[in-house]
Chain A
Amino acid sequence: MFRRILIANRGEIALRVLRACHEMNIEAVCVFSEEDRGASYLELADRTVCIGGPPPRDSYLRSDRIIAAAEVTGADAIHPGYGFLAENAAFADKCRACNIAFIGPPSEAMRQLGDKAAARALAQRLKVPTIPGTDGVIDDDNELLRAATQMGFPVMIKAAAGGGGRGMRIVPEKTDLVPALKQARQEAQAAFNNGAVYLEKFLERPRHVEVQIVGDHRGNLVHLNERDCSVQRRYQKLIEESPSPAIDSRTRKALCAAAIRLAKAAGYNNAGTVEFLVDHKSRFYFIEVNTRIQVEHPVTEMVTGIDLIKAQIRVAAEEPLDFTQRTVAGSGHAIECRINAEDPDQKFRPCAGTIARFRPPGGPGVRVDTFAHDGWRISPHYDSLVAKLIVHKPTREEAIRTMQRCLDEFIIEPIHTTLPFQRKLIGHPDFAAGHVDTGFVERSAMQNATVE
Chain B
Amino acid sequence: MINIEQIRQLIEMMVTHDLVEISLRNGSEEVSLRRPTAVNASSHLPVAMHTLASTGNGPSALSGEAVATESDKRPEERLVEITSPMVGTFYAAPDADSPPFVEVGSTIQLGSVVCILEAMKVFNEIKSEVAGTIERILVRNAQTVEYGQPLFLVRPS
Contacts and interface: CB of A to CB of B under 8 A. Distances in A.
Contacts, number: 59
A47 B148 contact: no
Given A68-B88, A72-B119, A34 B43 contact: no
Given A67-B120, A71-B119, A47 B43 contact: yes
Given A65-B86, A65-B87, A68-B86, A49 B120 contact: no
B87 A68 contact: yes
Interface string B33-44: 000001001111
Interface stretch (A38-46, A171-179, A218-226, A438-446): A38-46
A390 B144 CA distance: 40
Contacts of A52: 147-148
A48 B148 CA distance: 13
A64 B147 CA distance: 12
A98 B41 contact: no
A20 interface: no
A72 B41 contact: no
B43 A51 contact: no
Nearest to A97: B120
A50 interface: yes
Interface in A247-278: none
B112 interface: no
| Listed residue (B44, B45, B89, B147) with the most chain A CB atoms within 10 angstroms of its CB | B147
Contact of B120 (A34, A48, A98): A98
Interface string B85-97: 0111100000000
Interface in A21-63: 34, 42-53, 59
Given A52-B147, A68-B119, A72-B144, A45 B89 contact: no
Contacts of B89: 72
B1 to A, nearest CB: 39
Contacts of A73: 144
A69 interface: yes
Interface of A: 34, 42-53, 59, 64-65, 67-69, 71-73, 98
9 contacts: A44-B42, A47-B42, A48-B43, A49-B146, A51-B87, A65-B86, A67-B119, A67-B120, A72-B87
Interface of B: 38, 41-45, 86-89, 119-120, 144, 146-149
Given A47-B45, A50-B147, 6 more contacts: A64-B86, A64-B119, A65-B119, A67-B120, A72-B88, A73-B144
A-B pairs, 10 with minimum CB distance:
A68-B119, A68-B87, A50-B146, A72-B144, A50-B147, A69-B87, A49-B146, A65-B87, A52-B147, A48-B43
